[in-house]
Amino acid sequence: MKITMRNLLLSLALMSTWIPALAETDFLSNANQNSWTSEIANPEFVPVEQAYNLTVVVEDQRLLLNWTIRDGYYLYRDRFKFGSTDSSAVLAAPQFGSGLVKWDEYFEKELEVYYQQTSVALPFTTESTRLSLEITSQGCADAGLCYPPYRQWLDIDLINGIVEISSQPFTTQQANSNVSDTASLPLALVLLFALAGGMILNLMPCVFPILSIKVLSFTMNHKTDRSRHIHGLVYTAGVVSSFVVIAIAMLSLRAAGESIGWGFQLQSPLFVIFLIYLFFVMGLGLSGYLEIGSSLMSVGQNSQGEEGLRSSFMTGVLATTVASPCTAPFMGPALGFAISQSASIAVLVFAFLGLGMALPFILLAWIPGLTKRLPKPGPWMDVFKQFLAFPIYMTAVWLLWVAGRQTSIDVAAAVIIGLILLVMGLWIWKLNSKPITRLIAAVTFAAALAVPITAISESDVEPEFLAYSPELLAELRDDNQPVFINLTADWCITCLVNERIALSSERVIGLMRDNGISYLKGDWTNSDPQITELLGRFNRSGVPLYLVYPRGLGQAEILPQILTESIVIEALTDAIN
């Protein structure tokens, strides 16, 4: 990152913001929370609460959040975050107004920002008469200062339309008055709800095949009462400990100001992709294409000795992990109660959720009569095991859809490529045991993991473009503007490679931006008569086609179908000279 005065001022602001944040450790008082502005010698900058003033209008099942922005300051659209601190409330997607797209020196990319004022409509649903929200925003001053992310807490009386806005989280007493009536439920009833909700989680589509595999291994292997008891207890330990770990992590992050809840770990695309790979490999093992042995991916198939116990424990961990996005009946009141109580009570509720989830297996392990009712071992078990691979594959598909929604279709495609490379690596590994073969397989495995990670980490820095139309092209040419046209399609591999290698270059983007070159993009993924007509005009039957129109009335230059950064820069430079 370039060291500029803007970045230096940002660093000073961040440092001075962290100092008041230590108030909770008794170094400073809460009254100094916004004292960072006194650390900046430049008197033209105002405190963040004066730069951006928030007002709230309560409508029927919707909030209108209005920001009045001081002259010379702006807010980033993509830095807004909205979270409910009340488990009974559900927020819909916020609705933003149109902003101004500008090059941001700190983030070093084009961003949409708001000047003067902006409004965000935030639909919600809740059964409570109060609504508690946490809102995060971030903005900068044109003079060269970027504020750290600014968090505000809202306490809204939905009956009377009274809104209280604070730069500090509301006290425990205030927070407890805002949660639903579940906070007043008896603890014993809540624990019963948690137990029942955990039991019902076993019927969820993602969990049921894993539990079925474990029961299948029970039928095949656990002969003695002692063996059944030990494996039942170890599986229970895996489930309950996983619930407790999730509870502790969730409560710790919420105490740190994060707006998270049950299933928060699946908000990480990398974690979701890890689960996709895991379930895919599990499916291969169940289908008979892969022998893995006793590990996490064998989900309890090996039941003998220490490794079998570890497998039972990890089966419980895996079952909890994939159950976390589900909320069974009775879980809602239990979870709502948990987050409004002390940490010890909350952890106890989560432990009972885990105990409920493990309870069917505990009963199977400890009641001999239930074990005797299980079908006798036979050839049908291998067929059933292979059948269970299909719901496992479907779970992987669902997780792939989640990852695609979290990121982009490009990342989803990269995950599929990674899975293909994974299978290819397994195939190479099985060819023979020669060192060179194993080395090639290891490299293939590494590529399988690297492809989706790279796809997530790469930021799309393609320049801002306008959709091609003959009318727009004519208008830009009449205004004496140079124009670059990219006719492309999603199914055109050459087009995608050119955009990644050449058109997303920082030098190309900077050249277009600094010299007023209009970038028009024609998407021929679906039939478009206007694009077809332009292709025909230049005697082309398909994409890609790259055209550079110079200033004035000069003719378009046709670029090669295989682009490099230097080819594009040379053509654009000629167009502006």
Contact 551, 482 (CB under 8 A): yes
Has residue 221 got a pLDDT over 70? no
Q: Per-residue pLDDT for 10 more than 60?
A: no
Residue 452 has pLDDT above 80, yes or no: yes
Helix (H) or strand (E) holding 199: helix 187-201
Q: Output the pLDDT for position 423.
A: 92
Flag the least confident range among 115-124, 199-208, 306-315, 324-333: 324-333
Instruction: Output the pLDDT for position 374.
Output: 62
Q: Which of the listed ranges 89-93, 273-277, 359-363 does the model predict with the highest average pLDDT?
A: 273-277
Q: What is the mean pLDDT of the chain?
A: 77
The span from the CA of 245 to the CA of 233, in Å, is: 18
- Predicted confidence at residue 568, as pLDDT, reads 93
User: Other C-beta atoms within 10 Å of 416: how many?
Assistant: 14
Would you call 170 exposed, middle or buried from its count of C-beta atoms within 10 A (0-12, 13-18, 19+)? middle
Q: Report the residue count for the chain.
A: 577
pLDDT band with cut points at 50, 70 and 90 for residue 111:
confident
pLDDT grade for 145, boundaries at 50, 70 and 90? confident
Q: Of the spans 30-34, 209-213, 252-256, 270-274, which averages the highest pLDDT?
A: 270-274
Which of 60-69, 87-96, 209-218, 414-423 is predicted with the least confidence, judged by mean pLDDT? Answer: 209-218
CATH superfamily ID and name for 5-172: Thiol:disulfide interchange protein DsbD, N-terminal domain (2.60.40.1250)
Taking 50 as the threshold, does the pLDDT of residue 112 lie above it? Answer: yes
82-96, 284-298, 549-563: range with lowest mean pLDDT = 284-298
pLDDT tier at 13 (50, 70, 90 boundaries)?
A: very low
- Report which of residues 47 and 256 the model is more confident about: 47
513-569 pLDDT per residue, tens: 888 899 999 999 888 899 999 999 998 888 999 999 998 778 899 999 999 999 999
Q: Give the pLDDT of residue 302.
A: 45
Could you tell me the end-to-end alpha-carbon distance of the chain, in angstroms, rounded to an integer? 31
pLDDT in tens, 381-440: 678 778 878 888 888 898 898 888 888 888 898 999 999 999 999 899 888 889 999 999
- Rounded distance between C-alpha atoms, residue 378 and residue 363, angstroms: 23
Of 37 and 180, the structure prediction assigns the larger pLDDT to 180
Alpha carbon of residue 562 to chain centroid: 34
Q: What is the dihedral sign for C-alpha 216, 219, 222, 227?
A: positive
In this prediction, what percent of the chain has a pLDDT beyond 90?
Answer: 19
Partners of 62 in beta bridges: 59, 123
Q: Residue 319 half-sphere exposure, CB side, CA atoms within 13 Å?
A: 38
Residue 533's CB: how many other CB atoms inside 10 A?
10
352's tokens = 């009972």
- CA quadruple 390, 392, 396, 399: dihedral sign: positive
pLDDT digits (tens, 9 = 90+) for 348-376: 888 898 898 888 888 877 776 666 666 66
32-41, 251-260, 515-524, range with the lowest pLDDT = 32-41
- pLDDT of 340 > 80? The answer is no
Residue with tokens 């078990």: 381
Query: Which of 210, 207, 198, 233 shows the shortest CA–CA distance to 351?
Result: 198
pLDDT at 333 over 50: yes
What is the token pair recorded at 416?
A: 């599929």
**Is 80 exceeded by the pLDDT of residue 272?**
yes
Q: What is the DSSP string of 68-132?
A: EE-TTEEEESTT-EEEESSTTEEE---EEPP-EEEEETTTTEEEEEEESEEEEEEEEEESSSEEE
The span from the CA of 242 to the CA of 6, in Å, is 45
Dmax of the chain from CA atoms?
90
Q: Does the N-terminal peptide bond of residue 368 adopt cis geometry, omega within 30 degrees of 0? A: no
DSSP one-letter string for 334-394 = HHHHHTTS-HHHHHHHHHHHHHHHHHHHHHHHH-HHHHHTSPPPSTHHHHHHHHHHHHHHH
- B/e letters for 311-350, b = 16+ CB within 10 Å, e = fewer, are bbbbbbbbbbbbbbbbbbebbbbbbbbbbbbeeeebbbbb
pTM for the model stands at 0.52
Give the tokens for residue 406.
């979290």
Task: Provide the pLDDT for residue 524.
Answer: 92
Of 253 and 140, which is predicted with more confidence?
Answer: 140
CA dist 120 → 99, 116, 124, 515 (Å): 12, 14, 13, 34
Q: What is the pLDDT of residues 466-502, one digit of tens each?
A: 899 999 999 998 888 999 999 999 888 889 888 888 8
Architecture of domain 466-576: 3-Layer(aba) Sandwich (3.40)
Alpha-carbon distance of 64 to 94, in angstroms, equals 10
pLDDT band at 328 (very low <50, low <70, confident <90, very high): low
The H helix count followed by the E strand count for the chain is 19, 19
CA–CA dist 108, 265 (Å, integer): 30
